[in-house]
């Protein structure tokens, strides 16, 4: 059974980090672990002096996730500056290991419940209203522009941008862990490069709008979208990728979503031609041997008219 507390050394280091960040009188009244993986922890902490609830992410050298917390902080600031979408305010972030045994990010706690937990509680009318809110929020997020495609740096810019397919190529090689799968996918993209001819506008692309990263809270009997979380995977990309993944994931782009999205912006008419390629990329970024994931990969490959087995081996 996984321990629900930090090791004493990490507890002591965290207490010192909190004091350095919020002042010598501040201390942690209580905390609970929200997520724990190898060398990676997310915890919710209630602070005293000041009285504040925060989310703390800690990632050591062995963490499987890249955890570019400094870059995530910059993207959070862009979202808070350019949109009205609720998201956490990043208070401190550091990836240098200069003073602490982990990379870390401290952000304000955003109240609400994950869409995964909320969705089963809703009736048809509530579901439609919630999906419409999700569509509007995603469209607003996609309105954050960048002058070029590429990875966002810790200062919130894209200094070494490239044409979309060049930027996508670099990203695929960085994010798909199996090099053979990455090259198979890029070969497919090169064969169908003409489909991307009109992709010329870079915008903020979240790339991880999964059911745990969209929050709702109940306000006087109405379920209201209360936040979008976790911008660790975001980049200056093509926003269609978010739409394709939302359409692939069950329970995300349901009735009302497109009405909400199109009330803010329109997806390009050519988007459906590229949708399956974006969905295949998601299958390769997050490989799994579960029956559902294998079935999704096979269905996407069938739609593309290619064999799935090379991507499952």
Q: Please write the tens of the pLDDT for every residue from 215-228.
A: 999 999 999 999 99
Question: Is the pLDDT at 64 greater than 90, yes or no?
Answer: no
Residue 160 has a pLDDT of 84
- Determine the average pLDDT of the residues in 181-199: 97
Number of folded domains that form the chain: 2
Q: How far apart are CA 74 and CA 138, in angstroms?
A: 19
Domain end: 108, 134, 169, which one?
Answer: 108
- Determine the average pLDDT of the residues in 68-80: 95
Whether 121 and 103 share a structural domain? no
Question: Is the pLDDT at 66 greater than 90, yes or no?
Answer: no
Cβ neighbours for 81, distance < 8 A, ≥ 6 positions apart: none
Whether 12 and 25 share a structural domain? yes
Whether 74 and 206 share a structural domain? no
Whether 117 and 102 share a structural domain? no
Domain end: 63, 81, 108, which one?
Answer: 108
Q: Is residue 118 part of a domain?
A: yes
Q: How far apart are CA 178 and CA 190, in angstroms?
A: 19
Q: What separation in angstroms does the CA of 186 have from each of 65, 87, 167, 234?
A: 23, 34, 12, 20
CA angle at residue 154 from 6 to 97, to 5 degrees? 35
Q: Is residue 2 part of a domain?
A: no
DSSP 8-class letter at 65: S
* pLDDT tens digits, one per residue of 246-304: 999 989 999 999 999 999 999 999 999 999 999 999 999 999 999 999 999 999 999 99
Which domain CATH number covers 32?
3.30.200.20
Residue 1 has a pLDDT of 42
Tokens for 191?
A: 């064969």
Percentage of residues in the chain having pLDDT higher than 90? 95
Tokens for 2?
A: 């996984």
Q: Is residue 269 part of a domain?
A: yes
Among residues 9, 6, 46, the alpha carbon closest in space to that of 26 is found at 46
Residue 117 has a pLDDT of 96
Q: Is residue 1 part of a domain?
A: no
Which of the pair, 2 or 160, is modelled with greater confidence? 160
Whether 98 and 127 share a structural domain? no
- Determine the average pLDDT of the residues in 160-173: 94
Residue 65 has a pLDDT of 83
Whether 88 and 70 share a structural domain? yes
Whether 131 and 63 share a structural domain? no
* pLDDT tens digits, one per residue of 105-152: 999 999 999 999 999 999 999 999 999 999 999 999 999 999 999 999
Residue 311 has a pLDDT of 97
Cβ neighbours for 234, distance < 8 A, ≥ 6 positions apart: 72, 75, 152, 204, 205, 206, 207, 208
Q: Is residue 163 part of a domain?
A: yes
- Determine the average pLDDT of the residues in 194-214: 96
Q: How far apart are CA 292 and CA 297, in angstroms?
A: 9
Whether 173 and 245 share a structural domain? yes
Whether 158 and 134 share a structural domain? yes
Whether 121 and 102 share a structural domain? no
Q: How far apart are CA 181 and CA 281, in angstroms?
A: 10
Which domain CATH number covers 272?
3.90.1200.10
* pLDDT tens digits, one per residue of 20-45: 999 999 999 999 999 999 999 999 99
Question: Is the pLDDT at 2 greater than 60, yes or no?
Answer: no
Q: What separation in angstroms does the CA of 268 have from each of 4, 196, 201, 215, 231?
A: 47, 11, 11, 27, 24
Q: How confident is the model at residue 3 (pLDDT cuts 50, 70, 90)?
A: low
Q: Is residue 53 part of a domain?
A: yes
Residue indicated by tokens 């570019």? 68
Domain end: 91, 108, 125, which one?
Answer: 108
Domain span at 228: 113-312
Whether 76 and 220 share a structural domain? no
Whether 119 and 213 share a structural domain? yes
- Residue 244, Cβ density class (10 Å: 0-12 exposed, 13-18 middle, ≥19 buried): buried
- Determine the average pLDDT of the residues in 64-80: 93
Cα torsion through 117, 87, 136, 208, rounded to 10? -60
Residue 251 has a pLDDT of 92
Q: How confident is the model at residue 4 (pLDDT cuts 50, 70, 90)?
A: confident
């Amino acid at each position: 059974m996984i321990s629900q507390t930090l090791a004493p050394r990490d507890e002591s280091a965290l207490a010192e980090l909190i004091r350095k960040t919020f002042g010598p009188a501040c201390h942690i009244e209580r905390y609970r672990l929200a997520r724990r993986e190898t060398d990676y922890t997310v915890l919710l902490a209630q602070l005293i002096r000041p009285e504040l609830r925060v989310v703390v992410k800690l990632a050591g050298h062995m963490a499987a996730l890249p955890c570019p917390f400094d870059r995530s902080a910059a993207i959070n600031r862009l979202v808070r500056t350019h949109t009205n979408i609720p998201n956490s305010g990043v208070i401190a972030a550091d990836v240098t290991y200069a003073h602490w045994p982990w990379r870390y990010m401290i952000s304000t706690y955003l109240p609400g419940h994950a869409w995964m937990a909320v969705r089963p509680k809703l009736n048809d009318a509530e579901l439609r209203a919630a999906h419409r809110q999700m569509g509007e929020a995603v469209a607003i997020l996609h309105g954050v522009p960048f002058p070029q495609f590429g990875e966002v740096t810790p200062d919130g810019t894209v200094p070494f941008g490239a044409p979309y397919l060049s930027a996508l190529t670099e990203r695929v090689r960085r994010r798909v862990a199996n090099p053979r799968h990455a090259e198979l996918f890029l070969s497919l993209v090169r064969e169908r490069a003409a489909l991307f001819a009109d992709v010329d506008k870079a915008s903020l692309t979240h790339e991880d709008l999964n059911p745990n990263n969209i929050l709702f809270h109940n306000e006087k009997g109405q379920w209201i979208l209360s936040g979008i979380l976790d911008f660790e995977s975001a980049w200056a990309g093509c926003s269609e990728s978010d739409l394709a993944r939302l359409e692939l994931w069950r329970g995300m782009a349901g009735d009302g979503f497109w009405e909400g999205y199109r009330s803010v912006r329109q997806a390009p008419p050519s988007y459906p031609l590229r949708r399956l390629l974006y969905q295949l990329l998601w299958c390769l970024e997050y490989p799994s041997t579960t029956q559902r994931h294998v079935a999704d990969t096979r269905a996407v490959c069938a739609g593309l008219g290619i064999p799935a087995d090379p991507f499952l081996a």
